[in-house]
Structures are given as C-alpha cells and as structure tokens.
C-alpha cells in the first residue's frame, strides 16, 4: 500500500541571524528594505533556520492509504515539538538576534511511503519546531519532516506554491534576555524571548 500524508496550508522559510548593535540599527532603519542589501535570499543562510509547513487553524492535513482517506488525530503532530535551544545564543557575544524570511506561502506538501504493509498511526514521528517565543505568536508550529516506522518518505511532492511576502525583520535584544535569565535558575529554553524589550539604539552619525 502507498501511505500519503498531505498538508495544504502555509509554508515557512525563516532564519535567525546574530547581529551587532550597529547592524541592528541599520536593520531597524531599513525595515524590509534590508532584504535588498545583499544577493537574493542571503537571509536563508542563518546558523539557525527552519523550513516547513506551518501547522495552524488554516492548514489541512489528510492521511490516505492507496488514495482512500483514513482517520487521523491531527493533534499528534504538535504533541512533542522541538524548541530552539537558546544557550548557543545567550552564551555567545551577539547583542541581537534578527528573524528574517517568510511564513505565508500557500502550497501543498506530500510525504509518500511505498509498500506499507499495515497502517498504525503510532508509527508516525513528526519533527516539529515551536517558534512561538521567537515569533511572538502562541503555538507557532512548523512541521519540518515526517518519518513512518522509523523511515523517511520514499517520495516528496512540493506543489501549488503561490508566492510569499517577506516578514518585517524582528529584532530580539539578547542583553535584555540575559538579564531576564540571570539568577532565575531557569534553562534558557524557558526564557521568554517575546517580552517587550528595548528597541535597538539609533545609529550615531559619524
């Protein structure tokens, strides 16, 4: 049997970039114009990036066996999300983080496994990233990959893309986050990166 998982909704292509105070001021001044400062899609080369399907109220998930729909509990997809480990940023010398990319490309993605002998939804393993404290949106989930029975899909199909709009750059003040974290005994993963933090300083004219 052919097992197919189809997700129709919005795709995300987002990256985090550590930046200096000077660069943060430039980004603040240029806004979305910062995307034109370098060759096309340079922003995708961040050290921490995620690409996949946004799992929200607007997406549709369908599971099929040989083209026949089978019931599936969609809540299992986001039951065990991965959280971005923030220690790598908080222990660095970076002053700011900048979020760049897009999260609104309407499209459809399929994962297809050939020669499945039986269907057991417990065999699914979903790699889902949770960026809610980065994007400032509750329950912000991005489905990156699916395995079934420990195996990656035999085939992938990405289609019906309709274009996207780049998000306004989002700056996170790591000094303020470090201050929030200091003395709390909390792991950095529990620190709220979406607190209302100070804006980057204005660039001082030369």
Q: What is the pLDDT of residues 48-72, one digit of tens each?
A: 778 899 999 999 999 999 999 999 9
Q: Which residue has the higher pLDDT, 41 or 199?
A: 41
What is the SS3 assignment for 81? coil
Sequence-distant (6+) residues with CB within 8 A of 167 are 14, 99, 100, 101, 102, 103
- H or E element, residue 127: strand 124-130
DSSP letters of 144-163? EEEEETTEE-SEEEEE----
* pTM for this entry: 0.79
Task: Using pLDDT thresholds of 50, 70 and 90, give the confidence band for residue 47.
Answer: low
- Provide Rg for the chain, Cα atoms: 20
**Which pLDDT belongs to residue 37?**
80
Angle ∠(49,111,9) on CA atoms, nearest 5: 65
Pairing outcome for strands 155-159 and 151-152: unpaired
Give the Cα separation of 80 and 112 in Å (integer).
22
Share of the chain above pLDDT 90, in %: 46
Quickly count: other Cβ atoms within 10 Å of residue 113's Cβ.
21
Residue 187 or 41, more confident:
41
CB-based contacts of 166, cutoff 8 Å, min separation 6: 32, 35, 100, 101, 102
- The answer to which of 109-123, 142-156, 179-193 has the lowest mean pLDDT is 179-193
Q: For 80-138, how does the pLDDT look when each residue is reduced to its tens digit (9 = 90+)?
A: 887 655 555 666 677 788 899 999 999 999 999 999 999 999 999 999 988 887 787 88
Per-residue pLDDT at 17 exceeds 90: no
pLDDT for 40: 64
pLDDT number for residue 31: 92
Q: What is the DSSP letter of 87?
A: H
């Amino acid at each position: 049997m052919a097992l197919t998982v189809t997700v129709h909704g919005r795709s995300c292509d987002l990256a985090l970039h550590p930046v200096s105070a000077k660069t943060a001021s430039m980004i603040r001044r240029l806004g979305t114009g910062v995307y034109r400062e370098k060759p096309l899609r340079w922003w995708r080369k961040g050290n921490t990036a995620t690409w996949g399907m946004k799992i929200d109220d607007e997406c549709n998930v369908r599971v099929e066996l040989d083209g026949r729909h089978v019931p599936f509990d969609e809540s299992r997809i986001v039951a065990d999300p991965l959280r971005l480990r923030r220690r790598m940023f908080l222990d660095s010398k970076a002053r700011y983080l900048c979020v760049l990319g897009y999260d609104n490309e309407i499209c459809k993605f399929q994962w297809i496994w050939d020669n499945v002998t039986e269907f057991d939804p417990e065999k699914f393993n979903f790699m889902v990233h949770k960026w809610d404290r980065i994007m400032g949106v509750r329950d912000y989930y991005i489905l990156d990959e699916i395995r079934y029975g420990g195996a990656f899909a035999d085939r992938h199909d990405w289609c019906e893309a309709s274009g996207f709009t780049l998000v306004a750059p989002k700056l996170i003040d790591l000094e303020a986050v470090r201050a929030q974290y200091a003395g709390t005994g909390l792991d950095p993963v529990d620190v709220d990166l979406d607190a209302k933090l100070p804006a980057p300083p204005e660039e001082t004219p030369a």
